[in-house]
Each structure stands twice: as C-alpha cells, then as structure tokens.
Chain A
Amino acid sequence: MKFAVLEFPGSNCDHDCEWVLEKVFKQKVSRVWHQDTQLPKGIDCVMVPGGFSYGDYLRCGAIARFANIMPAVQAHAKRGGLVWGICNGFQILTESGLLPGALLRNASLKFICHDTYLRVERVDSAFTNEARQGQVLRVPVAHGEGAYFCDDRALAELRQRRQIVFRYCDQDGEATREANPNGSLDNIAGILNAKGNVLGMMPHPERVAELAMGGVDGKVLFESALNALSGARR
C-alpha cells in the first residue's frame, strides 16, 4: 500500500508516522511537502501528522487548511481515499471542513502529554476493523487544543451516523468525566466523516506501535487500514 505523509512547516510527527509505516509495517511512504499541488500517483492513504503547523498562528490548523496541497487531499477524500489526521492533523481536517466540529483549548488550559485510554466504538470502519468492539487501547495524547466541540445538531448527527469512533475512557472502558483529559464533548477522542474514509483523532497511535516505544496498542489502527486497503484492492 502507498501512504503519503504531509509535511507542513511545524509538523513534528511526520517522521514518526513514516517510521511506523516503513519500519514496522513495511509500506511505501512518500513525504509530501505542503507547497506541492499533487499527491504522488497511486496513494491509498494520506496521513496528516501532528505538530504545530504554521506555529498554530491564528488557530491550530487554520493556515495549513489553505496550503497548496490541500485541494489534492480534498479530492483524494472525495474519491473515497483514506485520510487520517492525528492531533494537529485532526485540527487541520476540521478547519478544512473534511470533518465536522472544532478543537478548542483544553478545559484545564494546560498542555497535556500523557497516556489515555480509548474505547473503540465501532469495528466496521476502515481504521478499526481489526479491533474488538469496546476494546480499550492505551494511546498517549500531547496537545493544548484538543477539546472536541460541535453544536447540538452536529453531535446528534455524529451519534446517529455512528461517526464517533473513539471515546476517552478509564482502564475498564467506562467513558467517565474523570477519564476525559481535555473537556471534549461526549468524551470524543476521534471521529470519522459520514462516508467513513476520513478519520481525525487527538491521541497518537503512531507513538505506540512498537514495544520499544512502550506500547503497541496503536498498531491495530494501522493493521485495520492495511486490511481495508488490501480488501479494496482485491
């Protein structure tokens, strides 16, 4: 499978994504500069990595959303190609309208950087088909603006269309207020678009994809995406 990892000025998880895809999963990876206007041929999945694109000026993701490469990413998503935004990547995808809602300043006002537990809310998606329903994954977060917000109508739609794919929970899988690290609405940690081919999430699965990193719970997302893509190729 062919992956593209976008690079904006200020991206800092692009190498991590590339490492995991290349070294752990033996996939082909192209790094794509923000000023490019086209994705390389035959890309299956575009990863929008974490970091602080354009210094987080104005709002996180607000400027990246207008980068030269973004129309190609929009077109890729429209064709049904996979787009996977992590952390700042999630913020960029909401700013660009590929995903609904927005990410607000953490309720605590603090930058948080620690492990969280995520409950897998659906296993029929391109990014979770190798997981178990309700499986609890230990995946770290590292962000200052990660509180998911949308209006009541949008939230009702997210629930109705089963777009909420990860919720912050405790070790036992309970989505409690205490387990919510940033004040996200409804403990939302990750959402899909209505079609299911675009994923945005604040936690960093690429940071827990090898034992040497201290955890492997993030692997199941990559395995799922590979599985979905090989199914699509067949």
Chain B
Amino acid sequence: MLVAKIHVTLKPSVLDPQGVAVSQALRGMGFGEVESMRLGKYMELRLKDKGQSRAQVEKRVKLMCQKLLSNTVIERFEIKIEKGGAKR
C-alpha cells in the first residue's frame, strides 16, 4: 500500500481571508510571533501498490491534483508519496 499525502493551499497571489482571520486570532491570544499564515487542505490517498516506479505513481497523483483535487487557477499543491502502513 502506498500513501499519497497532498497539501493544497491558495497561491501566494490569492488573498486568504481565513488565514488572515485565524492569524489575527492567534496574535490576539498573545502569540505575537505569528506574522502571517496560509490555511489549506490536507488530503491522504491510499493507493494500490502495483509495483510502479515512484515517478509513475507521482505522475498519476499529480494528474488527480490538476484535474480535481486542486483548482490551479487559485491553488497550488504539494505531493508526498510514502509506503503505507496498516489500514485505518
């Protein structure tokens, strides 16, 4: 089993009002060191291990991100492929 860990965040050029609101809350709570934050999504896909190369697997996951999991007009994504453990 392989696990694809995907982070989707708004592009730096896109205003993230949720991130702004939450970072203001953190500063209000006394965490003055918070300069800014970006709020995003984390996704975990469990993939069948068919013995493909890491590059092949990554290519497929990248396609998923481009087609559905992110909107590349406003978001960017990062993918990590790992060997998976037991089913959850």
Contacts and interface: CB of A to CB of B under 8 A. Distances in A.
B25 to A, nearest CB: 12
Nearest to A62: B68
Interface stretch (A2-10, A25-33, A69-77, A99-107): A99-107
Contacts of A94: 73
Main secondary structure of the interface of A (DSSP, over half): loop
Given A95-B71, A101-B73, A102-B73, A149 B17 contact: no
Nearest to B21: A109
A229 to B, nearest CB: 31
B74 A102 contact: yes
Contacts of B21: 109
A104 B73 CA distance: 11
A150 B73 contact: yes
B23 to A, nearest CB: 13
A105 B74 contact: no
B13 A151 contact: yes
A105 B10 CA distance: 11
Interface in A99-126: 100-102, 104-109
Given A109-B17, A109-B21, A58 B69 contact: yes
A133 B21 CA distance: 39
B74 A104 contact: yes
B68 A109 contact: no
A59 interface: yes
Interface in B35-69: 68-69
Contacts of A95: 71
Contact of A149 (B18, B68, B69, B74): B74
B34 interface: no
Given A62-B68, A66-B68, 9 more contacts: A94-B73, A100-B73, A104-B14, A104-B74, A107-B15, A107-B17, A109-B17, A150-B73, A183-B15
Interface of A: 58-59, 62-63, 66, 94-95, 100-102, 104-109, 149-151, 183
The 9 closest A-B pairs by CB, nearest first: A102-B73, A102-B74, A107-B17, A109-B17, A102-B71, A59-B71, A109-B21, A105-B17, A149-B74
